[in-house]
């Protein structure tokens, strides 16, 4: 009997532990079933469920539709009240005191066609349709119209990764800049009203603006009036815009929310074939001059650097071509600037009324290598467009120390003539290669095609990358 199996006596504690284990297992199995069901539910059902359980709007999708080539996501364009954009266009005759901008805002902001203008005398006939007389401050209108037809646009905000606010702030503020009777309140009124409207939108509230962006058609300083008064509006100093990305033709290098994008030029290719044809044209055109300068001296400025460059150009004789842009001559006739730059291998680019100039992009579109004297003219401005990492700025530009030039220790001609011809050829090839990414095309929804990207495509790619980085931050806060 000693070897007989004897069952253990009943143990109430062990029985309760087994019961708890069974209940816990059933609970986790139920949670797993819920998770699988949630993952397999269609987006529309998920959206309605979220709306039923929370007052917040749906979270943005993690990526866009790959079949459209928008892997970074999609962009929603707000339909603003007309007072913030279309009504401003209707005031085109009075927006600038010097001239009417109406002709330059036609054709969705590209301006009037080159055919029949002085541009038609210097452009290949087959490329005339890709050129317009574009205004350097028409960026807001151009970006808005291109985004409305861009393949990465969505009309469903629930599908959007980024949100574009088509407020023509440059026109709104610009119309008061030269008015003797305009007050600070006049220059800020439209901006205050826009922010009031924007802050009421549910998708703005979701992120507090981190995934929203604007395009500004004037330099950043026109929106940064000092608290003590002075030039411009105070739009970018308003707390309500602090989290919104601003795509601007001249950025404040120490404000991370400013992103520099190119000034509009007159070249707006319709297809990749148009862009390649232009690249071939500027590569083959004769360039008898070593360098060129287009600009007007500032006689009221002590030690005017432009006057120094004009003097240096005159001293270089036939090696340099100069164009005096006084009284708006270069604005009224883009052909003068284009013809000058197409005849030179380099073009000097001093700072303008601010650190940047449209002329930088006119120069590069013409296939010439820019010569810079301030790092803030390009190197600290257009990171999405003009590479500067690891010394790459030396591939497409020349930098001359302006203090050395002022002191008479160097001349522009001397510096440029010392660059080996093979190196000049490499630099010009690099500039020509970059042209499509620096211009705003007149392409349709599918873009230029052939894998070629224009300035808008680069802008959207950069903005969607930026939003993805920002989203990780605002989700943690």
Greater confidence (296 vs 90) lies with 90
Residue 182 confidence class, pLDDT cut points 50, 70, 90: confident
What does the chain come to in residues? Answer: 477
Average pLDDT of span 386-400: 96
Per-residue pLDDT for 402 more than 60? Answer: yes
In whole angstroms, give the CA distance from residue 381 to residue 399: 15
Lowest mean pLDDT among 57-71, 319-333, 458-472: 57-71
pLDDT for the residue numbered 12? 42
pLDDT at 247: 98
Where residue 474 falls among pLDDT bands split at 50, 70, 90? Answer: low
Residues contacting 31, CB < 8 A, separation 6+: none
Using the predicted structure, report yes or no on whether residue 5 has a pLDDT greater than 60. no
Q: Can you tell me the mean pLDDT for 343-370?
A: 95
pLDDT digits (tens, 9 = 90+) for 288-329: 999 999 988 776 667 789 889 999 999 999 999 999 887 677
Q: Are strands 153-154 and 212-216 parallel, antiparallel or unpaired?
A: unpaired
The pLDDT value recorded for residue 56 is 54
Beta strands at 162-164 and 75-77: parallel, antiparallel or unpaired: parallel
| Residue 475 confidence (pLDDT) | 60
The DSSP code sequence of 62-90 is SS--GGGT-TT--EEE----GGGTHHHHT
pLDDT digits (tens, 9 = 90+) for 136-163: 899 999 999 999 999 999 999 999 999 9
Helix 455-476 with 421-438: angle, nearest 10 deg: 70
pLDDT at 339 exceeding the cut of 60: yes
pLDDT category of residue 13 using cuts at 50, 70 and 90: very low
Task: Please choose, from the candidates 167, 168, 237, 232, the residue with its C-alpha nearest in 3D space to the C-alpha of residue 204.
Answer: 167
Q: Which of 443, 373, 404 is nearest to 130 (CA)?
A: 443
pLDDT of residue 227: 84
- Mean pLDDT in residue range 440-445: 90
Burial of 402 (0-12, 13-18, 19+ CB in 10 A): middle
Please check the confidence at residue 58 and state whether its pLDDT lies above 70.
no
Containing H/E element for 215? strand 212-216
Q: Please give the average per-residue pLDDT across 426-436, as a whole number.
A: 98
Alpha helices in 5-149 (DSSP H): 12-40, 43-53, 86-89, 139-148
- Global pTM reads 0.84
The DSSP output letter for 267 is B
What digits encode the pLDDT tens for the residues 210-257? 999 999 999 999 999 988 888 889 999 998 999 999 999 999 999 999
381 touches 329 (CB < 8 A):
no
């Amino acid at each position: 009997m000693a070897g007989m199996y004897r069952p253990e006596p009943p143990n109430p504690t062990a029985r309760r532990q087994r019961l708890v284990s069974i209940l816990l297992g059933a609970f986790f199995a139920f949670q797993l079933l819920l998770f699988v069901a949630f993952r397999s539910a269609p987006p529309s059902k998920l959206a309605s469920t979220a709306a039923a359980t929370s007052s917040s709007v749906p979270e943005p999708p993690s990526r866009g539709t790959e079949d459209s080539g928008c892997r970074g996501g999609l962009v929603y364009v707000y339909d603003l009240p007309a007072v913030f954009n279309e009504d401003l266009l209707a005031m085109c005759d009075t927006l600038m005191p010097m001239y009417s901008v109406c002709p330059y805002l036609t054709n969705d902001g590209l301006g009037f066609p080159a055919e029949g203008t002085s541009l038609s005398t210097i452009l290949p006939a087959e490329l005339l349709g890709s050129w317009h007389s574009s205004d350097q401050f028409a960026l807001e209108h151009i970006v808005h119209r291109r985004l409305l037809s861009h393949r990465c646009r969505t009309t469903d905000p629930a599908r959007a990764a980024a949100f574009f606010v088509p407020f023509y702030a440059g026109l709104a503020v610009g119309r008061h800049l030269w008015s003797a009777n305009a007050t600070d309140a006049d220059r800020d009124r439209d901006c205050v009203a826009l922010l009031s409207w924007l802050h009421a939108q549910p998708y703005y509230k979701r992120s507090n603006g981190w995934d929203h962006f604007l395009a500004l058609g004037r330099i950043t300083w026109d929106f940064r009036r000092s608290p003590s008064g002075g030039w411009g509006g105070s739009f970018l100093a308003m707390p309500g815009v602090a989290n919104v990305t601003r795509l601007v033709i001249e950025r404040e290098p120490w404000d991370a929310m400013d992103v520099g994008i190119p000034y509009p030029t007159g070249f707006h290719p319709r297809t990749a074939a148009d862009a390649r044809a232009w690249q071939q044209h500027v590569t083959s055109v004769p360039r008898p001059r070593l360098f060129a300068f287009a600009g007007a001296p500032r006689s009221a400025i002590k030690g005017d650097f432009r006057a120094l460059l004009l003097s240096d150009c005159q001293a270089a004789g036939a090696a340099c071509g100069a164009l005096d842009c006084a009284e708006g001559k270069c604005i009224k006739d883009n052909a003068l600037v284009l013809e000058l730059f197409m005849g030179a291998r380099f073009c000097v680019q001093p700072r303008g009324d601010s650190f940047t100039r449209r002329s930088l992009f006119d120069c590069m579109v013409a296939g010439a290598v820019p010569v810079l004297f301030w790092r803030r003219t390009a190197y600290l401005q257009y990171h999405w467009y003009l590479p500067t990492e690891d010394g790459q700025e030396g591939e497409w530009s020349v930098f001359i120390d302006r203090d050395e030039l002022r002191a008479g220790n160097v001349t522009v001609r001397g510096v440029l003539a010392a660059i080996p011809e093979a190196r000049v050829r490499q630099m010009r090839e690099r500039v020509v290669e970059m042209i499509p990414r620096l211009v705003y095309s007149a392409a349709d929804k599918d873009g230029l095609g052939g894998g070629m990207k224009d300035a808008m495509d680069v802008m959207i790619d950069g903005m969607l990358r930026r939003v993805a980085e920002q989203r990780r931050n605002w989700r943690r806060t």
